[in-house]
Amino acid sequence: MFEIHFYEILLVSIVSLVSIVVYSRLRKPLEYRQLSSHVPSVTKTIWSEMKFSWNMAMAKPKDLLPLFMELKNQNGLVVHFNLAGQACILLNDPDDLKILLSSTKNITKSKDYQILKPWLNEGLLLSSGSKWQSRRKLLTSTFHFKTLDMYNVSINKHSRVLARKLLEASTGDKEIDVMNYITLCSLDMICDTIMGIEVNAQEGKSIEYVKAIKCVCRSIVDRVFTFWLWNDFIFKISESGRNFYKSLKVLHEFTDNVIKIKKESLNNSKSQHKQIETNSQKMQTKSFLDTLLNALEENPDQMTNKDIREEVDTFLFEGHDTSSIAITIALIFLGLNQDVQDRARDEILEIFGDSDRDVTMDDLNSMKYLEAIVKETLRLYPSVPAITREIQTTLNIKNYSIPPLTTIFIIPYILHRSEDLYPNPEEFIPERFLDEDSKSRNIFGYLPFSAGPRNCIGQKFAMTEIKTVISTILRKLKFETIGTKEDIKVSAQVVIRLDSAPKIKFHELKQIPITMYGLNVYTVVALVPLLILILRAVYSRLQKPLEYRQLSSHVPSLTKSFWDEVKLSVTVATKHPKEMLPLYMELMHNKGPIVHFNIAGRSYVLLKDPDDLKILLSNTQNINKGPEYRMLRPWLNDGLLVSSGSKWQNRRKLLTNTFHFRTLDMYNPSINKHSRVLAKKLLEASSTSNKEISITEYVTLCSLDIICETIMGTEINAQEGKSVQYVQSIKSACRSVTDRIFKFWLWNDFIFRISGSGRKFYKSIKVLHDFTDNVIKNKRALLKNAKNQNVLPEKKYGKTENKSFLDILLNLLEENPDQMTDKDIREEVDTFLFEGHDTSSVSMTLTLLLLAMHQDVQDRARDELYGIFGDSDRDATMQDLNSMKYTEAVIKESLRLYPSVPGFTRELQTTLHLKNFNIPPMTTVCVFPFIQHRDEKIFTDPEEFIPERFLDEDIKSKLHVFGYIPFSAGARNCIGQKYAMNQMKIVVSTVLRNARIETLGDRKDIQISMQLVIRLESLPKVRFYEIA
């Protein structure tokens, strides 16, 4: 025997690489060799190709995904590279992927897949041409929805076993690694359903098979990227090759045994004549293996024993390995995100109640939130991290033509992390698959199951299995993951492999007693709100003053009787927020400009007449906000929005100076700076994908940057993705408060706290308070540092007009600690952060959208801006803003149609004497600018977008001051309305100076809901084009 030294192996490898590279550059067609000259390439020269090939060969599986991610980030959406003579293209543009994956010609898997042939031969994964087409057609019926329904019994059975195994393993508060448990469960399922036999893997009968799968996959990935192992002989004698063939023997023996057991089972059934079925019944109950064995029996020329084994090998591998990885990671995420886990469990309890029955297909279809969780898991960690195709004909993508024989790489792991498709792509946000935006997302931007003709044949089966397993665990167990998302370490192999993952601790879910005094608990829970409603209604009618109770007798009312009140209270409580504004519009349309109604004992009057609104809003006695605002106290405490009496008057007087016109001028440089960042971000997002984008989040983060740097005097870089959790928590808190306002049973503090909505609210306000505390802390540190360096003059923080909002508060705390506390500062900062960024961002989003829908208006606004700025790229000044008459009219018209605050309330302290009625104290008066601004008596053609109505002097002179109230009016009008208008004008004008805006949508596509501010349920997307 001769001895082989490391240096000899190294020399052979280098010589092999050089030979392959040189040969490919000399012998391949010219168009193939010149690919790097017209497509962005990392291997333009022989030396760069050899270096790249060597680096790939030396890379470990865990390094491959980061390496490809870096390739894409540095070179764009289309990247060329040669890998040891093989020309490859990495595609990451959904539009290009659509062209490739929709093609019926370019369906051939790349040469990398040929490495799998000793294992899977020409099963469905590897075959091509007519064989693939006929086999795909034959097996499709195996995954028909009726067949999937038949599999549910087995999937439920093995899911229960898994839940029991996990709980047993966690005995003694132990943390466990769930991967092996789930893998064996998935193997049990695939064998019992698709193959029609039981292998009892969860009882430890098939562990050798699972280990062999992992060994084979590791050997394959070694061979794919280590070029010298492409040679069959070298691979066979290598350690990786020896491991591969040894494991392969285990896998084939397992498969042969599965087929053997199934054949024996079928023969026994035939011989015993157990059941006579009609042909239609046979078709409905045939498993995958039944179908293959039937084809073998009926057409032995078309199907052989070898064909059966290759398909069984393929589906055993693909069917259990991919699903087990997805389930494992989904459970880890649910353990890391208890709020998500709680919401998913709430959804499941709504479906099943206290029943322990099996999951059915109808149940699975109802699990919308759980499905979003699974989809988000597969977005972050698609089970198959990469797909390749070897194109047979020239592929004409958007900007390039790719010649035949090129290998195309598609890496869903990277695609799913594209910021233009998924804002904050590294965050686990299941809600992104519930939003309306998800429906308009490019379907080729989400490829966990590939797409087109060669998409995963078993994706519906996989989703059924994953949802059944997870829902079964959620019904029986509560669990927490001990670790963080950063502890999930993956490597790219044939499927994603978990190199390491945090462990999970499972606890048995404490079940509520099934019955109480013979009543089902869920029946009792359903009756509680009704009982609360009846008690409140009866109490109010008996205990409140006579004039309060008799309000319905002299004001047009919807709730003259007790049962009217009950009916309306239930109707309002069961409406979705997006249905509330149409409901109130209908009330006013049917009853007139003043309407009375009771909800759960609370008396309301809805006003629309501008003269009546003038009486209400000009009144200095009735300035208390309605009882709904008290629901904001755990969040905003007694900040300016919620406070009343002397505290409100003193605080309002103190803070008014923050919005003096000289102070506003000081804020303009910051507003301009962040507006430019926004314009740049919007153009980049549009140009990167060359498609329409959802702009809400971009505008929201810009607005948050502006409010923090101007009013708070600190930079947070929200547009760089630093404050996304704050924005999400704002939305969550607002939705929870909205739920509480309209669901009368949630008015009780205790019931709200224990409700799902209440738990989300308190979790969200913790994030909001932490954010606020951090803003205040940073500002204090800045001021302290400036003092230490003698930057500030002796008179505290400089001239009064140069003090920011937060400066004033901190200065007051220092000078008058009896008048201002840390708590007071936080409540005002909380209030202004929320009101200052959320309202403006909604208005700017809708203004840009309306401009995109009305090109004539957009052109006129841009012409006005060109008249002011010319070709200059300078900042917008106060003088410029005062000259933007048409732009201001556009914003005002946008605020008319979609006022940021759609409704507000006042609780009367004294009798309110309106034109025709007297409203007694304790009544809550509702004002809806959204409805007010659609009054035909005030605005002609109220549903039309006509900015000119705010330029026409005749129209302006006739406009009632209290007929247009986007910022409220009177003593409690919005303190920051001038600031808001400046911000909106600068942002909108900056975008118009830099970009042309288009959308394919129209006004009907704008779906809003009524919350504390208008929430955008769905919007048409927008495309931005840079102005030369």
Known binding residues for heme: 456
Cα 505 to Cα 49: distance, rounded to the nearest angstrom? 48
Calculate the alpha carbon distances from 614 to 286, 904, 972 in Å.
Answer: 75, 15, 12
Q: Are 82 and 24 in contact (CB under 8 A)?
A: yes
**What single DSSP character describes residue 206?**
S
In 3-state terms, what secondary structure has residue 398?
A: coil
Residue 872 neighbours by CB distance under 10 Å: 8
**What single DSSP character describes residue 359?**
P
Query: Measured in whole angstroms, how far is the alpha carbon of residue 497 from the centre of its chain?
Result: 25
How buried is residue 883: exposed, middle or buried, by Cβ count under 10 Å (0-12/13-18/19+)? Answer: middle
Cα 736 to Cα 738: distance, rounded to the nearest angstrom? 5
- With a CB cutoff of 8 Å and minimum separation 6, the contacts of 147 are 141, 284, 286, 287
Positive or negative, the CA dihedral 844, 846, 850, 853 is positive
Question: Helix crossing, 756-788 with 338-352: angle to 10°?
Answer: 170
Strand intervals (E) in 403-456: 407-410
Rg (C-alpha) for the chain, rounded Å, is 33
**What single DSSP character describes residue 104?**
S
Structure tokens at 651: 């605080």
Output b/e per residue, 486-504; b: 16+ Cβ within 10 A: eebebbbbbbbbbeebbbb
> Residue written as tokens 């309202």?
839
Beta-bridge partners for 594: 607
Cα 193 to Cα 152: distance, rounded to the nearest angstrom? 8
Beta strands at 78-83 and 86-91: parallel, antiparallel or unpaired: antiparallel
Cα 226 to Cα 57: distance, rounded to the nearest angstrom? 4
Q: Which of 748, 739, 740 is nearest to 536 (CA)?
A: 748
Cα 20 to Cα 6: distance, rounded to the nearest angstrom? 21
Structure tokens at 868: 């002011």
In 3-state terms, what secondary structure has residue 195?
A: coil
Cα 107 to Cα 884: distance, rounded to the nearest angstrom? 56
In 3-state terms, what secondary structure has residue 690?
A: coil
Q: Are 494 and 113 in contact (CB under 8 A)?
A: no
In 3-state terms, what secondary structure has residue 402?
A: strand
In 3-state terms, what secondary structure has residue 142?
A: helix
Cα 991 to Cα 3: distance, rounded to the nearest angstrom? 71
Q: Are 225 and 386 in contact (CB under 8 A)?
A: no
> Residue written as tokens 């330029």?
951
Annotated binding-site residues read: 456
Cα 154 to Cα 189: distance, rounded to the nearest angstrom? 7
Beta strands at 503-508 and 496-500: parallel, antiparallel or unpaired: unpaired
Q: Are 991 and 891 in contact (CB under 8 A)?
A: no
Cα 418 to Cα 434: distance, rounded to the nearest angstrom? 19
Q: Which of 256, 302, 226, 171 is nearest to 60 (CA)?
A: 226
Q: Are 498 and 328 in contact (CB under 8 A)?
A: yes
Q: Are 137 and 291 in contact (CB under 8 A)?
A: no
SS (H, E, C) 152-173: HHHHHHHHHHHHHHHHHHCCCC
